[in-house]
């Protein structure tokens, strides 16, 4: 199930990294604010080398984020994550460009399976 949302990039959080049984992992989250009648703040995550795509963005950029929602159970609690796989940057300063992020391969999702969330 692929979804998308458009909004203004308001925060890029510091990268998080660690080691698991499957090797090293890196994750970075970012927050956008939607342009709905009642704007919402939404946090997305990027994993692995996809985190490098945030280097080309700055707070205030208008972006369209394509993502897949995913939920995991841990100790009888459910945790939901919005995994971005493509971002389109647009704004008044120039033509629309695209930061394509390959769709996630959930068969080889990596170390995140070892995380408690």
In tens, the pLDDT along 27-63 reads 999 999 999 999 999 999 999 988 888 888 999 999 9
In tens, the pLDDT along 82-107 reads 999 988 887 644 444 445 544 444 44
Which fold is adopted by the domain 3-104?
OB fold (Dihydrolipoamide Acetyltransferase, E2P) (2.40.50)
DSSP string covering the chain = --EEEEEEEEEEPPPEEEEETTEEEEEEEEEEEE-SSS--EEEEEEEGGGGGGGGG--TT-EEEEEEEEEEEEETTEEEEEEEEEEEEEEETTEEEEEEE-PPP-GGG--GGGGS--
Which of these ranges, 19-23, 51-55, 69-73, has the smallest mean pLDDT? Answer: 51-55
């Amino acid at each position: 199930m692929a979804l998308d949302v458009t909004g203004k990039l308001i925060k890029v959080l510091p990268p998080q990294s660690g080691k698991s049984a499957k090797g090293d992992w890196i994750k970075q989250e970012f927050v956008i604010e939607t342009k709905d009648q009642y704007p919402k703040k939404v946090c997305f995550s990027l994993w692995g080398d996809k985190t490098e795509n945030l280097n080309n963005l700055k707070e205030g950029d208008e972006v369209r984020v394509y993502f897949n929602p995913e939920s995991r159970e841990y100790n009888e609690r459910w945790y939901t994550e919005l995994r971005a796989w493509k971002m389109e940057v647009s704004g008044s300063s120039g033509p629309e460009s695209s930061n394509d992020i390959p769709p996630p391969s959930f068969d080889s999702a990596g170390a995140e399976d070892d995380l408690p969330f």
